[in-house]
Structure 1
Amino acid sequence: MRWALLEQGMFSDVPPDVAEYLDAVHTLSLEKNQQCEEQLAHLLGVLNGIGVQPVFLKCAAALIGRLYPSSGERMVSDIDVLVPAARLPDILDRLAGVGYRLVNPKEDISDIEHPDALSHHHYPAIYSPDWPVAVELHVQPVLLSFVNLLSCDEVFQDATAVRWRGGDCLLPSPNHFVMHNIIHSYLVDTRYHLASMSLRQLFEFVLVSQSYGERIDWHAINSRFGAAGCRDELAQYLVLAQICLGFNVVTGIDLDGWDRLRVQP
């Protein structure tokens, strides 16, 4: 909100106490996210040190890719990292050596410590008292029930290599950044309940769509969701972004009147 008001020259019209609050939140967020970037750089160095080049997802990808004008605009709650399943035991051992532990030490990890027995798309959250946020090590980018829409192999294959803070990492391709956002924020997090949609995630979807522009192959995304039986869900998400944030629905994706009628209420 602060960014939008400043960009549109409206911040001076905001009541002083509200402006002070928005500035304070931005300052605190910026301070925290600068620490998060240090944590990302440290984590990347540890992973590179054992020959792992990770794919950073969601907010980590947004920070590294400089999607926002400053990192203070993007609230960060955790770090999501996609790693090869076969390397998970090595990674856990190395991260334990630098202070990372389970957030919930009582969590049953008997069926997810080994890649062949993995029953979830990520290992339980881990944290280090030296750093501000928890880390989730993913072996699949999405819940296992949605791997037919987006798999680990695909993300690694199409990811963009980036040299950042002295380390080597990967960022999702434009298509996969968009798809991961839709799958995670709508199909998984809200369980199709539009009223509980995260505006932060919806905003990031619109921002990514505008930033990447023609690098996104909407026809391929539409075909993929259609083949997985999720065409209606994709359409509803696009309509929601249009209604709430003025998203220009792309040519080639047909939205009928029923899509708007489902979403508008």
Structure 2
Amino acid sequence: MGKLAITYQHIADILSFEVSNSQLEETLKNPAFNWDPLVVEGSKHLVLPAIYCRLKARKFLHLLPTDLKNYLEELTNINRNRNKALLSQVRAISKLLNEHHIEHVFLKGAALLASGCYHDNAERMVGDIDILVKKDQVYTAFNLLKSNGYDKSSGYAYDTIEFRHLDKLISENELASIEIHSHLLNRKYRSLIDLQAILNTKNTINGIAIPRTYDLSMHQILSWQLNDKGHYYKFPNFKIFYDIIKVNSDKDEALVSDLMRFKYGKSFLEIAKFYFKEFSHIQSNSYMIYISLSHKTLMNYKPLRVFVRKGKYALNFLLKRLHLLLTNTSYTRHIFKKVFNSKSFRSF
């Protein structure tokens, strides 16, 4: 395997619950083992606290260089305290929305923290607080939060058309910004998730509404594969892989079966299977074998990987901007103003 693939495999083996301690210890004790690329890639994938917590649970912290052990311990402590404050923030938001009878569920990291699925909440790094709100209550929820301390917002410099969420809401007194979602996927793929079903089947844990595990995992996977172009680039996301394993969705036959209906579901499962033993029970079809070979080839040849990724990024950027220019007059005005910086274009 190429160097990056080896680093990815080390991350997966540390996070996995099916790789034996003896096998992992043999790898980490090797004098040639290099921690530096693992830290770099673990940081990119936002799993450094999870790596530290798994090594601690496996009683392997003594294998870490002292400086690295201290760094990861400090980072994990910071994240634990942050998540404690974030959960307090989630509870306050939940109480406010419930008091005003706004139908909602928390999503992604906030929902996972609230579910109690982690042995140590420090494992999960969380950015924004994502909330799905019933479509006819989205602006009510937005204005309610805005009048209760989240009085600043951040969004695009142009008007968006049927975007997944409204502008981010920000409070100077809280850690995380809030994204109120009316949809979960980009317009082309919205039929893949039944929003009302998610709201109808939600679970409530300690007063916090979260989706059932199937919906939580399906949203995470499709959001990465489609919204964030994971399928397009055919690259792994170790934070999501670990989330899936922590809630045992890798063993959810209904979820796996539904993912197997779509090429982007198959590619997620195959790349997960490439690194994690937890997914080894999933039978690969011809398309998935192609995905595995393609991923392996890209991981083994860095120049090819860099060329393909940069080429795909450039193509995606150009097509996205062209689509916006043709379909969104607000974006077109924004571009003309930015390029020409002329008052004459304000009436365009």
Question: TM-score normalised to the size of structure 1?
Answer: 0.83
* CA deviation vs aligned residue, 1:194-240 (integer Å, no higher than 9, x gap): 24x432123222333x2x56555136514xx62xxxx2221221121
Instruction: After TM superposition, give the deviation of residue 37 of structure 1 in Å.
Output: 0.7
The 5 A counterparts of 1:166-205 are 167=207, 169-191=208-230, 192-195=232-235, 197-205=236-244
Greater gyration radius: 2
The residue that corresponds to 2:125 in the other structure is: 75
Q: Which of 241, 244, 261 is equivalent to 2:293?
A: 261
- Name the % identity: 19
How far has the Cα of 1:74 moved from its partner? 0.6
Name structure 2 gaps, 5 residues minimum: 1-50, 298-348
In the alignment, which residue of structure 2 is the partner of 1:159? Answer: 202
Q: Which has the higher helix share?
A: 2
Name structure 1 gaps, 5 residues minimum.
Answer: 112-117
Cα displacement (A) at 1:13: 1.2
Deviation for aligned residue 1:242: 1.7
User: Structure 1 residue 147 and structure 2 residue 155: aligned?
Assistant: no
- In terms of mean alpha carbon deviation, does 51-60 or 15-24 score higher? 51-60
Q: How many residues align?
A: 244
- 1:141·1:151 contact (CA, 8 Å) conserved in 2? no
AA in 1 matched with 2:234? L
Matching residue within 266, 279, 288 for 1:248: 279
Aligned residue among 254, 257, 275 for 1:217: 254
Structure 2 CA distance for aligned equivalents of residues 250 and 120 of structure 1? 37
State the secondary structure of the residue aligned to 1:130.
Answer: coil
Shift of 1:50: 0.5
Separation of aligned partners in 2, 1:74 and 1:106: 28
Pick aligned residue for 2:150 from 86, 100, 109? 100
Which amino acid is 1:65 matched to?
S
**Which residue in 1 is equivalent to 2:39?**
none
Correspondence for 2:245: 206
